[in-house]
């Protein structure tokens, strides 16, 4: 019995040690360092003490394929849940497009996901009216992903690290093209590039 208990304790210790080492590279940034970059509107960004896993629920891409947030593993992702009827979404979407223009590529991507019964033509018109051309028209029509991610109102924007973990969340709209927002994105990108 004591050998069995000793083995369980050893396994637990190794698991905790491995987890600490695996998360160590981003833990400091996801905590106080990242929080310290918040100024102005970005003070609404809630930085988690410990990164949290994202849901494995699916959404539909603009091309009609099934996708998951974990498909973006390897790059920093800013996931924005929105709807065509959402006035604050209309206000902030061009700022999110500016982030995509400035940082988008191999290390960073803005992923926009319409929630609920947004018709494709209405989504396209929404983007056309606000002059957004380079953000995706993904949709979570059954709202399974948004519910699993705890999205209770719109917009909600979630910052996901390269390991596919939620490190911060902002409820409501924000000035996403501010110096503070860009510093946060830049820090997340640079932190992963060093690791």
Q: What is residue 109's predicted lDDT score, i.e. its pLDDT? A: 98
Compute the distance between CA of residue 144 and CA of residue 147 in angstroms, rounded to an integer: 5
| Per-residue confidence (pLDDT) for residue 165, from 0 to 100 | 97
Low-confidence ranges of the chain (pLDDT < 50): 1-2, 4-28, 30, 195
10 Cβ contact list (under 8 Å, min separation 6):
none
Give the model's pLDDT for residue 34. 87
Tokens 């926009």 label which residue? 112
For position 32, what pLDDT does the model report? Answer: 64
Helices (H), the chain: 2-28, 34-35, 87-103, 120-130, 144-148, 179-194
């Amino acid at each position: 019995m004591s050998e069995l208990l000793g083995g369980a304790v050893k396994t637990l210790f190794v698991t905790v040690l491995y987890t600490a080492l695996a998360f160590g590279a981003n833990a400091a940034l996801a905590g106080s360092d990242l929080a310290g970059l918040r100024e102005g509107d970005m003070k609404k960004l809630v930085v988690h003490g410990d990164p949290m896993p994202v849901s494995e629920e699916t959404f539909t891409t603009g091309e009609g394929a099934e996708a998951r947030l974990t498909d973006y593993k390897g790059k920093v992702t800013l996931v924005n849940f929105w709807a065509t009827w959402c006035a604050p979404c209309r206000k902030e979407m061009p700022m999110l497009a500016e982030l995509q223009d400035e940082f988008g590529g191999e290390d960073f991507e803005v992923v926009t996901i319409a929630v609920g019964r947004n018709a494709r033509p209405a989504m396209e018109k929404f983007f056309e009216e606000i002059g957004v051309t380079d953000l995706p028209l993904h949709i979570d029509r059954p709202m399974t992903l948004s519910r699993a991610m705890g999205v209770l109102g719109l917009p909600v924007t979630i910052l996901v690290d390269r390991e596919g973990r939620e490190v911060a969340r902002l409820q409501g709209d924000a000035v996403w093209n501010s110096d503070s927002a860009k510093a946060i994105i830049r820090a997340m990108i640079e932190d992963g590039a060093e690791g």
